Amino acid sequence: MSKGIQTIESALSIPGEEIEHTILLIRGQKVMLDRDLARLYGVQTKILNKAVSRNLDRFPADFMFQLTPEEHDSLRFQFGTLKRGQHSKYLILKSGMKLCFGSEPDVECRSKAGELVCVIEIKGSADKAGAQTRLGETKKPFTKAKLENPRCHTIFLPSVQTPSVLKQLKTERDIDQVFDLLAILRNKLKRIEFLEELFKFRLREKI
């Protein structure tokens, strides 16, 4: 695994559907691995990193950071493959809580005993015309999660909320909470609010 990390804001110009499943949470920030960003741009990772290193003065100071050897080893051992017919990633917290990253749902949180605790759906597209469709796509994994465990907490992270979507969200029984994805990415206080809700109140983890 490459040690270079790119902040997620750098990939916002790419269609949201392509970046939704490459988002990781490291040091309290939404980030992408350099290998995933390189794949989205259709170049080799080493070429991307060389281009960045040659033009550092063109990027903001927080555009990227490098993992420490300890962080690199931790990620290497904590991420693996789930048997769902496709490769997915998971992260095991100190408490034994497992965060699984895949599709439908995008993020699935299970207790050490295997109980489904929380499900997160991320819709990063900025296309307003498709907002209603994306809401419909979100409901499927949430409904399935509630059938498995009625106490499971569901969180929806859209980047666009049209008036019709906002109206429908008020009546959706399987969507417990909604956070604005772009607000989380751009505003530190909103990011902290989301992280506290997820880790402190839902997963009972210290952050």
Contact 75, 87 (CB under 8 A): no
Determine the pLDDT at residue 178.
94
Range of the domain at 204: 80-207
Q: Are 39 and 100 within one domain?
A: no
pLDDT in tens, 33-83: 777 777 776 778 778 777 777 777 776 666 677 777 666 655 655 554 333
Q: Are 69 and 99 within one domain?
A: no
Determine the pLDDT at residue 86.
38
Q: Are 155 and 171 within one domain?
A: yes
110 vs 14, higher pLDDT = 110
Label residue 87 by pLDDT band (50, 70, 90). Answer: very low
Determine the pLDDT at residue 73.
57
pLDDT in tens, 8-26: 444 444 455 555 656 766 7
Q: State the pTM of this model.
A: 0.57
Determine the pLDDT at residue 12.
41
* Beta-bridge partners for 178: 156
Tell whether the model's pLDDT for residue 130 goes beyond 50.
Answer: yes
Q: Are 112 and 152 within one domain?
A: yes
Q: Are 85 and 73 within one domain?
A: no
Determine the pLDDT at residue 116.
92
Q: Are 6 and 33 within one domain?
A: yes
User: Count of domains in the chain?
Assistant: 2
Label each residue of the chain as H, E or C: CCCEEEEHHHHCCCCHHHHHHHCEEECCEEEEEHHHHHHHHCCCHHHHHHHHHHCHHHCCCCCEEECCHHHHHHHHHHCCCCCCCCCCEEEECCCCCEEEECCCCCEEEECCCCCEEEEEEEECCCCHHHHHHHHHHHHHHHHHHHHHCCCCEEEEEECCCCHHHHHHHCCCCCCCEECCHHHHHHCHHHHHHHHHHHHHHHCCCCC
CA distance 125 to 11: 12
Q: Are 32 and 99 within one domain?
A: no
102's tokens: 């895949």
Q: Are 137 and 156 within one domain?
A: yes
For range 88-102, the mean pLDDT: 76
Average per-residue pLDDT for the chain: 76
Q: Determine what percent of the chain is predicted with pLDDT higher than 90.
A: 22
Q: Give the domain-ending residue among 78, 93, 128.
A: 78
Determine the pLDDT at residue 143.
94
Q: Are 60 and 106 within one domain?
A: no
